[in-house]
A and B are shown apart, each in its own frame.
Chain A
C-alpha cells in the first residue's frame, strides 16, 4: 500500500467522466476579475435602464450622465464630492458593522437626523463657551450617545426576545425623524428667521478645511474610521465574532460567545456610528438644519455597501462613485428639469440588478464545483 493521494487513473469510470467535464480551477486573477465584473455590472445596468427612463421623459441620457460626471469631478466638483463622501462613508460603515452580524438596522434615517438636529441646535452655544477642540469632541460625543440611546431598544428587544429588529429600528427611526422636526421647530429654532431652522453656525467655528482645499477634515476622519474598522472587522477577534454571529447566532452560542451581548454591542456601534455621521455633516458641511429636511443618505448608501460585500475598504471606491453621482446629479437634474429623486430610482435599480447578478453568479459557481448541469439532468430522468 502506498500512501500517495488517489489520482484520476485510480478512479472509477463515473468519476472520470465527471472530472473530464469539470472546468479548470480559476486563477486568483480571474477570480478577482469576476468580483470586479460582478460589482460593476449591476451599476452599469442600472445606469442603462435609468437612462432609458430619462430618455422616455425627453432628456438625452448621454448628455445627462455626461453632465453628472463632469459636474461631479471637474472644477470644484471633486471637492464637493469628497465633502459629500464624509457622512456617506461613516453611515456605510455603520451599516456594514450591523449587516456583517446579520442585524438589519434600518433605523439609519432617524439616527442620522436627530443627531444632526441636536448637534446643529446646541453647537452655537457649546462652541461659544468651550475651547474649539473640546467643544467639537463634546459635540461628537453627544451625537454618538444619541445614536446609542436610539439603538438600545431595538438591540435589547432583539437580544432578549428575538423581536424582529427591522420593524423596531424602523419605528424608532420614524419617532426620531419627528423628534428632529420637533426640536428644530421648538427649542432649537432660530427666532430671527421666519423659516423654522436652527441658528447658522459661524463659518470659522465649523470643522477646518484640509489645507489647500475646500474639503473639511470630516473626510479625513471618515477615511481613518473606515481603515480602523476595516482592520477590526477583518483582522481582530471581535471581527471574527461578528462574522460568526452573522453566519449563525446558534453557532455563535455553541462557540461559547455571548450572542446577546454581541448583538447589543454591534447594534449600538452601528447606530452610534450613523449618528456620528450626522454630527460630521452638520459641523463640516451644513452648519444649520431646516425642518422636514431628510437627505435619506442611508437608503442611498445601502446598495453600495452590499456591492462592496460588506468590506469597509471596498466601500470607499463605490461610495466615491455614488458621491459623484449625487453631487453632479443634483445640479444636472435641476438643469434638466428632473426631480433629484431620480437618484432613488437608480439606487433601487442597482439593488435589483445586484441580487440578479449574484443569483446568476452563484448558479455558475454551483455548476463549477458540483455535477455539471448536463449530467444532473440525465441522472434525474432515470
Chain B
C-alpha cells in the first residue's frame, strides 16, 4: 500500500499534474489568441503532433532540450502557415482547412516516425531541472514546483506575457478587435490580414511547443498519435475561458488533476482502467458544456473570413 501523504508521493503527484497540464496550457494559449483574433483552428491536434515529433528529433540530434523546443515551435509555425495562407489570406473555410491540418500533422508525424525510428524506438533522458534556491528546499511543493525543467517556467512566463500583450498593449487591442469587428479595425487603419496572420502563426508556435513539452518532458519520447485529443481539449479550454488567461491556467490545472488522480486511483485497489481515466476529462467537458456554458460567448467574427467591403 502506498502512503498517500508521504512527501515523495505528493511531490510525484504535483509533477504528474503539471506534466499533463502544461502541454494543454501551451496549446490553449495559442488557441485563445487565435480565437480572439477570429480564427478558429481546429487542427490543433496535428500542430501538436508535428511539434512533438520535430521537438523529439531536435533534442535527439542536438542533445539539447532547448533546441528541441525551438524545432517543435518551428514545426508548428510551418504547418500553421497553411492555415495562414488558405484561411486568412484567401478567406477559405476554416473548418475544412483545420481538419486538413489535423490530418496532415497526424500523417506527417506518424509516417516520419515510422520511417526513422520504428525499429530503434529511442527514448530521451531527463531534462536537468532549474532548481530555484531556497524555494526548492520547501517540503513537497519545493521539489514539485521549484525544481522543474526550464520550459515549465518559460511556459508560465509565456502565459503572463501573452496576457499582457492581449489586454495591455495596442497590438493586443487590435488583435481582439479583429475577432470582434474586423471592419472597425480596418477602418481604424489596422491590418486585419497581418493581425490574424500573426495570431495564427503564434497559435502554431504555441501548439508546437505544447506538443514538444508532451513528448520531451511528459513522455520522454514520441509516439504517433500521442496527443490523444489534447489538441481538441485546447479548443474547448479556449472556448470556456473566453480569452481570460487565469481561466486558461485554472482549467489546464484541473485537467492535470484529473489525469493525475486517475493514475493514482489505478495504484489503489480500485484498479480503474486506463480508458476510464482517459475518458474523464471529456466527460467533464461535456457536463460543463451541458450545464454551465450553454451559450459560450465566442468572438462574433470567429471562423468567418474578412473580406474588405463585403456586406
CA of A366 to CA of B114 in the docked complex: distance in angstroms?
A: 45
Residues from chain A with a CB closer than 8 A to the CB of B279 are: 174-175, 178-179, 182
Q: Which 3 A-B pairs have the closest CB atoms?
A: A344-B107, A351-B100, A348-B104
Q: How many A-B residue pairs have CB under 8 A?
A: 132
CA of A292 to CA of B84 in the docked complex: distance in angstroms?
A: 34
Do B99 and A175 have beta carbons less than 8 Å apart?
no
Nearest B-chain residue to A185, judged by Cβ:
B273
A275 within 8 A of B: no
Q: Mark A151-168, 1 if CB is under 8 A from B, else 0.
A: 001000100111110111
Do A345 and B111 have beta carbons less than 8 Å apart?
yes
Given contacts A344-B106, A345-B103, A352-B86, 8 further A-B contacts (CB under 8 A): A163-B296, A167-B289, A171-B286, A174-B232, A182-B275, A339-B113, A339-B224, A351-B103
A76 within 8 A of B: no
Q: Jot down 19 A-B pairs with beta carbons below 8 A, ordered by A.
A: A167-B239, A167-B289, A171-B286, A174-B229, A174-B279, A175-B282, A175-B286, A181-B275, A303-B100, A338-B114, A339-B115, A339-B118, A344-B106, A345-B107, A352-B86, A352-B104, A354-B96, A355-B90, A359-B91
Do A344 and B42 have beta carbons less than 8 Å apart?
no
A342 within 8 A of B: yes
CA of A239 to CA of B285 in the docked complex: distance in angstroms?
A: 34
Q: A153-B286, A170-B232 are in contact. Are A355 and B104 (CB under 8 A)?
A: no
CB distance from A350 to the nearest CB of B (A): 8
B138 within 8 A of A: no
CB distance from A368 to the nearest CB of B (A): 19
CB distance from B288 to the nearest CB of A (A): 10
Do A356 and B86 have beta carbons less than 8 Å apart?
yes
Q: A157-B289, A161-B294, A185-B273 are in contact. Are A351 and B111 (CB under 8 A)?
A: no
Do A167 and B106 have beta carbons less than 8 Å apart?
no
Q: A57-B115, A348-B104, A356-B90 are in contact. Are A299 and B99 (CB under 8 A)?
A: yes
Do A342 and B96 have beta carbons less than 8 Å apart?
no
Do B286 and A162 have beta carbons less than 8 Å apart?
no
Residues from chain B with a CB closer than 8 A to the CB of A73 are: none
Within 258-307 of B, Cβ neighbours of A (below 8 Å) are at 273, 275-276, 278-279, 282-283, 285-286, 289-290, 293-296, 298
Residues from chain B with a CB closer than 8 A to the CB of A162 are: 295
Q: Mark B6-49, 1 if CB is under 8 A from A, else 0.
A: 00000000000000000000000000000000000010000000
CA of A339 to CA of B108 in the docked complex: distance in angstroms?
A: 10
B151 within 8 A of A: no
Residues from chain B with a CB closer than 8 A to the CB of A157 are: 289-290, 294
Residues from chain B with a CB closer than 8 A to the CB of A175 are: 279, 282-283, 286
B236 within 8 A of A: yes
Give me the interface of B with A, judged by CB distance under 8 Å. 42, 82, 86, 90-93, 95-97, 99-104, 106-108, 110-111, 113-115, 118, 224, 229, 232, 235-236, 239, 273, 275-276, 278-279, 282-283, 285-286, 289-290, 293-296, 298
CA of A179 to CA of B293 in the docked complex: distance in angstroms?
A: 24
Q: Is the interface of B mostly helix, strand, loop or mixed?
A: helix
Do B103 and A344 have beta carbons less than 8 Å apart?
yes
Which of B106, B224, B239, B283 has a CB less than 8 Å from the CB of A164?
A: B239
CA of A174 to CA of B229 in the docked complex: distance in angstroms?
A: 7
Residue among A164, A167, A338 facing the most chain B CB atoms (10 A cut-off): A167
Do B294 and A342 have beta carbons less than 8 Å apart?
no
Which of A163, A179, A303 has a CB less than 8 Å from the CB of B289?
A: A163
Do A342 and B104 have beta carbons less than 8 Å apart?
no
CA of A233 to CA of B110 in the docked complex: distance in angstroms?
A: 38
Do B99 and A351 have beta carbons less than 8 Å apart?
yes
CA of A343 to CA of B293 in the docked complex: distance in angstroms?
A: 37
A349 within 8 A of B: yes
Do B95 and A355 have beta carbons less than 8 Å apart?
no
Do B110 and A349 have beta carbons less than 8 Å apart?
no
A274 within 8 A of B: no
CB distance from A91 to the nearest CB of B (A): 15
Residues from chain B with a CB closer than 8 A to the CB of A179 are: 275, 279
CA of A172 to CA of B285 in the docked complex: distance in angstroms?
A: 10
